[in-house]
Amino acid sequence: MNMLAGRFLFWLKETDMPTSDQRAQLAQTDNEIFLALKGEEARQRTGLELIPSENYAFPEVMTLLGSAFTNKYSEGYPGRRYYGGQDYTDRIETLARDRAKALFRAEHANVQPLSGSPMNQAVYLGLLEPGDTILAMDLSHGGHLTHGAPVSHMGRLFNFVRYKTDPATGAIDFDHLRAVARETKPKLVVCGYSSYPRDYDYADFKRVADEAGALTMADVSHIGGLIAADVMRNPLDAGFDVMTTTTHKSLRGPRGGLILCKNAFAKKIDASVFPGLQGGPHMNQVAAAAVTFRLAALPAFKDYANQVLANAKALASALTERQVKLVTGGTDNHLLVIDTVASFGIDGAAAQEALDRVGLTTNKQVIPDDPNPPMRPSGLRLGTPAPTARGMGTEDMAEIGTIIAEALAANGDRAIEEKLAARTRVLTSRFPVPGL
């Protein structure tokens, strides 16, 4: 045996170890990173994630993200790759596509987008021409950066016009939406949100788009899991041309994007993803998405999704009972938005910091027509997918609502905050983080 082969075999022996041994090796070779990992694990165990876009991935997902699929480059699509050695990558991508189509009742699925932003960009670039008009929800009224915010590249490449919510109710103003569509004649109507606490009637959007001669796209990144479980409406059932969703958030899968569309747009969408926008997909991510779609089709996931909705309503009730003002007055989905200025006289950034100190992770949030700057907005966004994944129910939401209200009313009193932090630790100790 030559020296190079001997070194190679030594490397195999040293690295092909059980997970616990691999962690021990990391502690020895890069202790700074190891300590950060341990710290994050402890933070997740003892605290509680309440950001609506965050969740705990299925343990099977975590396994696949660190699997051998990480090593494989797979430019192209199943049966049409540019590199060899694709027997198993073709198999997992085909399974992922087929499972996604069955789960969402879609004609075509592309599972390669690396995340939510390139997913939406691929749709715009695949179906439209630069300068075309797109009608989408205003960022401050619940939309997303990828829905044409001026700071995004897509906002500069396309002509985005925006619809808003009714100031009196907080609900989407369909009269305004229809008027804007008639005036601007968009090529695409986008419905979707990142901080809108209500459900959509997708048929209403479809009628507005049809009147304008526009295509329809629904970005359901936040509620993809709730749609998969059939506890919220599916835009494809209303005849939408395209639906996009991230595969994490309420789906509990890997961080990634999924495009579902009618067969008529399949070739354009696929070409827009590859080679138009990106190279090789992350096959560990695709494999993890495939197992996610299988798990999301099981009865247990429907139970989970129903509990997410029940928990959101319970949390909203717990807060409103304490005279906390919620944007739109409540929620139909997994999230709610607190007007922290009206409720406690503090901005959303200060509220986020106060809740961090009691072990509750939230995010500051712009509210409709917010007079405050984005980094010191007037609101705070909360969601229930993550606590539900830990097994928490409506009674636990009442406790969380109490901790939130008392922490934000404490005006920075550290003694009160420490007592509330202890209550958070007691609560989280009863509900282990899946996979940790």
Query: Which residues does the annotation mark as catalytic?
Result: 73, 75, 219, 246, 249, 255
Q: Cα–Cα–Cα angle for 274, 279, 280, nearest 5°?
A: 105
335: helix, strand or coil: strand
Sign of CA dihedral 177, 180, 186, 190: negative
CA distance 342 to 216: 36
DSSP string over 80-103 = EESSS--HHHHHHHHHHHHHHHHH
Which ranges constitute the DSSP H helices of 299-366? 299-320, 340-344, 348-357
DSSP string over 171-230 = SB-HHHHHHHHHHH--SEEEEE-SS--S---HHHHHHHHHHHT-EEEEE-TTTHHHHHTT
Using alpha carbons, list the distances in angstroms from residue 76 to 23, 70, 96, 274: 34, 16, 15, 7
* Residues 355-377: b if buried by 16+ CB within 10 A, e if exposed: beebbbbbbbbbbbebebeeeeb
Does residue 369 come out as left (phi exceeding 0), alpha (psi in the -120 to 50 range) or beta?
left
Tokens 């993890």 -> residue: 288
116: helix, strand or coil: helix
What count of other Cβ atoms lies within 10 Å of the Cβ of residue 120? 28
CA distance 50 to 279: 34
**Kind plus residue range of the DSSP H or E element containing 361:** strand 360-361
Name the nearest CA neighbour of 337 among 355, 319, 358. Answer: 319
- Residue 108 φ then ψ, to 5°: -145, 150
Q: Cα–Cα–Cα angle for 186, 192, 195, nearest 5°?
A: 130
Name the nearest CA neighbour of 291 among 14, 8, 65. Answer: 65
Q: Cα–Cα–Cα angle for 319, 431, 115, nearest 5°?
A: 80
Name the nearest CA neighbour of 224 among 202, 251, 206. Answer: 251
- Residue 182 φ then ψ, to 5°: -65, -35
